[in-house]
């Protein structure tokens, strides 16, 4: 069973008790639909004298009841199909979003944001229709099979004639499934590619405007358009071809049944009512519209499941269940190695011991691996070899709650997440003390609603946004990692922030990636990174005697 098939079964299960309910409704509807021609035939025979006329009223009542059953079951199926699909879509979206956030950030970053949004919004909506589609696909064969049985009971020659038509129908549907599956999958891939390019372009809108390359960017974004058009046209051509062949097969099959039925009527083997029933069964069994619609929906559902399953099959980052014991925040990187996707070493056998409560500045030339070392230190990225420990506990063994509580990150360009400013800073805690420490409380106080100001549409400078991100990071209880998190601050504000971080009251271990000599000078220790390795760890005044170290800041 493929991942797409397994996900389709999960989507069916997500619909809950609506799936068996829809199945029961489909069976009842099919039974009423198959019973109606026979009852109509009996009523006709009673009217024309081929059966006792006293029974005509009874058969008309039965016909009325069957029609009401058909109306009721179809209405119930429409409602139930909508509810089942909505439940499955909601559950699948929750599962996909949870899994995306459980992935290693590097894994998630390999796919464009627009492509992920397309899968979450579009393809999951298709996949969520699995329950009603499975019921429809399972019940779509009941009318042809039931019609075949009924025609055979009326006259074996009619049954034989109908079998030939069903074989032609099976060949038609099999070809349609293969062609439609390829076309729909190709369309969804091209759609995701286009969405990814568009999101990338929107994120760099200012750069595009400044460079005057809007027309060139439009061409780049719309590069997948010819492929999208090709697959879209192919989808409609396949559907139109199947419908055209069905439109030809349907009347031919009914004409064959009429011919055989007329011959049987003239031979005295059929009554007029039975001939009418036979024509109705031929129309029911040969109706390709429902079959093609069911197959087309199933193709879209399976393609949507395949696109969603590609994400859900990515291995999630594993966490332990341990909490961190009391300790000073000692950080140990033991033989840490990180490789690029092509196998090139980015961090090579890094051994680093940071005593608890130390302010460690990480410096080095551009591309030396400073940000990568900071990411590994707080488990934003797992090393390919080696281990990172905090107070003797490997970070892999900590629970997500424990890791989020003891480690905080401040970034050069932070993304603020939350409905309000207070939620983005405090994440459930009181944001005011954190904002004061990050020198941003006065800014927030002047906003229209203070910490309750909605983030949506809020205009912030780069420095203000950076200080809010820094305030959020200050929630950390034991290890604070700042990756160039003060680069957008003015000199006075940066001095105040650094004072807060280096003051005697802050007992946390602090790892600060910086390009500024003042930060290195105020640190307890400096880790000098070069070429993916830690070249030296010592106080700034000791390293300053080395001309190569001084050259790091001159560059």
In a domain, residue 323? The reply is: no
Residues 409 and 441 in one domain: yes
User: What is the rounded distance in angstroms from the CA atom of residue 184 to the CA atom of residue 181?
Assistant: 5
Q: For the chain, how big is the Rg over CA atoms in Å? A: 35
State pLDDT tens for residues 44-60. Answer: 766 665 545 555 567 77
Domain boundary among 284, 312, 340: 312
Q: If we measure between CA atoms, which residue out of 392, 396, 391, 474 comes closest to residue 431?
A: 474
Q: Looking at the 3D structure of the chain, how many domains does it have?
A: 2
Residues 306 and 337 in one domain: no
**DSSP-derived secondary structure for 411-464:** ESSPPP-SSBHHHHHHTTS-HHHHHHHTT-HHHHHTSTTGGG-BSTT----HHH
- Bridge partners (DSSP) listed for residue 385: 337
Residues 338 and 302 in one domain: no
In a domain, residue 319? The reply is: no
Q: What is the mean pLDDT of residues 63-68?
A: 86
Domain boundary among 285, 312, 339: 312
Residue 279 tokens read as 């024509």
Domain range for 341 is 331-554
In a domain, residue 318? The reply is: no
User: What is the rounded distance in angstroms from the CA atom of residue 426 to the CA atom of residue 444?
Assistant: 13
Residues 225 and 267 in one domain: yes
Is 15:32 a contact under the CB 8 Å cutoff? no
Residues 516 and 432 in one domain: yes
Residues 302 and 445 in one domain: no
pLDDT at residue 419, as a whole number? 85
Residues 211 and 79 in one domain: yes
Banded model confidence at residue 187, pLDDT cuts 50, 70, 90: confident
Residues 407 and 307 in one domain: no
Residues 79 and 135 in one domain: yes
Banded model confidence at residue 537, pLDDT cuts 50, 70, 90: very high
In a domain, residue 390? The reply is: yes
In angstroms, the Cα distances linking 447 to 417, 474, 483 are 18, 21, 27
User: What is the rounded distance in angstroms from the CA atom of residue 65 to the CA atom of residue 61?
Assistant: 6
CATH number, domain of 229, equals 1.20.1560.10
Is 127:298 a contact under the CB 8 Å cutoff? no
* Cβ contacts of 458 within 8 Å, gap of 6 or more: 421, 447
Banded model confidence at residue 533, pLDDT cuts 50, 70, 90: very high
In angstroms, the Cα distances linking 431 to 38, 98, 144, 436, 505 are 75, 26, 67, 9, 19
Q: Any idea which of 181-190, 218-227, 271-280 has the lowest mean pLDDT? A: 271-280
How far does the chain reach from its first CA to its final CA, in angstroms? 57
pLDDT at residue 61, as a whole number? 84
In a domain, residue 324? The reply is: no
Residues 305 and 384 in one domain: no
Domain boundary among 247, 279, 312: 312
Q: What is the mean pLDDT of residues 405-419?
A: 85
In a domain, residue 320? The reply is: no
User: What is the rounded distance in angstroms from the CA atom of residue 396 to the CA atom of residue 519?
Assistant: 30
In a domain, residue 25? The reply is: yes
Q: What is the mean pLDDT of residues 105-124?
A: 82
**DSSP-derived secondary structure for 257-307:** HHHHHHHHHHTTSS-HHHHHHHHHHHHHHH-HHHHHHHHHHHHHHHHHHHH
Residues 288 and 427 in one domain: no
In a domain, residue 440? The reply is: yes
CATH number, domain of 480, equals 3.40.50.300
Residues 252 and 401 in one domain: no
């Amino acid at each position: 069973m493929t991942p797409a098939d397994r996900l389709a079964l999960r989507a069916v299960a997500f619909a809950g008790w609506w799936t068996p309910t829809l199945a029961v409704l489909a069976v009842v509807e099919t039974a009423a639909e198959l019973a109606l021609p026979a009852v109509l035939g009996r009523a006709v025979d009673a009217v024309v004298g081929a059966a006792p006329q006293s029974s005509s009223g009874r058969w008309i009542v039965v016909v009325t009841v069957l029609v009401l059953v058909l109306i009721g079951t179809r209405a119930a199926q429409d409602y139930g199909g909508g509810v089942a699909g909505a439940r499955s879509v909601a559950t699948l979206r929750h599962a996909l979003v949870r899994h995306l956030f459980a992935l290693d950030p590097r894994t998630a970053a390999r796919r464009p944001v627009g492509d992920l949004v397309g899968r979450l919004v579009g393809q999951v909506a298709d996949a969520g229709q699995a329950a009603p589609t499975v019921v429809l696909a399972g019940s779509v064969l009941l009318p042809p099979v039931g019609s075949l049985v009924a025609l055979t009971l009326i006259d074996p020659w009619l049954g034989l004639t109908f079998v030939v038509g069903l074989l032609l129908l099976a060949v038609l549907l099999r070809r349609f499934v293969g062609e439609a599956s390829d076309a729909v999958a190709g369309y969804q891939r091209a759609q995701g590619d286009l969405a990814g390019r568009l999101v990338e372009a929107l994120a760099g809108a200012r750069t595009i405007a400044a460079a005057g390359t809007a027309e060139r960017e439009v061409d780049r974004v719309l590069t997948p358009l010819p492929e999208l058009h090709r697959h879209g046209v192919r989808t409609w051509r396949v559907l139109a071809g199947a419908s055209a062949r069905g439109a030809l097969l349907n009347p031919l099959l009914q004409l064959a049944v009429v011919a055989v039925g007329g011959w049987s009527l003239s031979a005295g083997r059929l009554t007029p009512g039975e001939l009418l029933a036979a024509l109705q069964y031929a129309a029911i069994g040969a109706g390709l519209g429902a079959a093609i619609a069911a197959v087309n929906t199933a193709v879209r559902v399976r393609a949507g499941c395949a696109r969603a399953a590609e994400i859900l099959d990515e291995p999630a980052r594993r966490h332990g269940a341990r909490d961190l014991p009391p300790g000073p925040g000692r950080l140990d990187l033991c033989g840490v190695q990180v490789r690029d996707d092509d196998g090139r070493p980015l961090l090579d056998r890094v051994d680093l011991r940071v005593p608890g409560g130390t302010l460690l500045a990480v410096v080095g030339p551009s591309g030396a691996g400073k940000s990568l070392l900071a990411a590994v230190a707080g488990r934003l990225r797992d090393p390919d070899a080696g281990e990172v420990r905090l107070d003797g506990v490997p970070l892999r063994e900590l629970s997500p709650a424990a890791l989020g509580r003891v480690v905080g990150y401040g970034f050069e360009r932070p993304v603020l997440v939350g409905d309000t400013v207070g939620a983005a800073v405090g994440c459930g805690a009181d944001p005011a003390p954190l904002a004061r420490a990050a020198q941003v409380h006065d800014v927030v106080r002047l906003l229209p609603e203070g910490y309750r100001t909605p983030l949506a549409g809020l205009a912030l400078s780069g420095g203000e946004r950076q200080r809010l991100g820094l305030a959020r990071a200050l929630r950390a209880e034991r290890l604070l990692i700042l990756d160039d998190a003060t680069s957008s601050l003015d000199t006075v504000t940066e001095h105040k922030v650094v004072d807060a971080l280096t003051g005697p009251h802050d007992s946390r271990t602090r790892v600060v990636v910086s390009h500024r000599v003042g930060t290195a000078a105020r640190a307890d220790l400096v880790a000098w990174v070069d070429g993916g390795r830690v070249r030296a760890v010592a106080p700034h005044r000791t390293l300053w005697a080395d001309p190569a170290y001084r050259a790091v800041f001159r560059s």
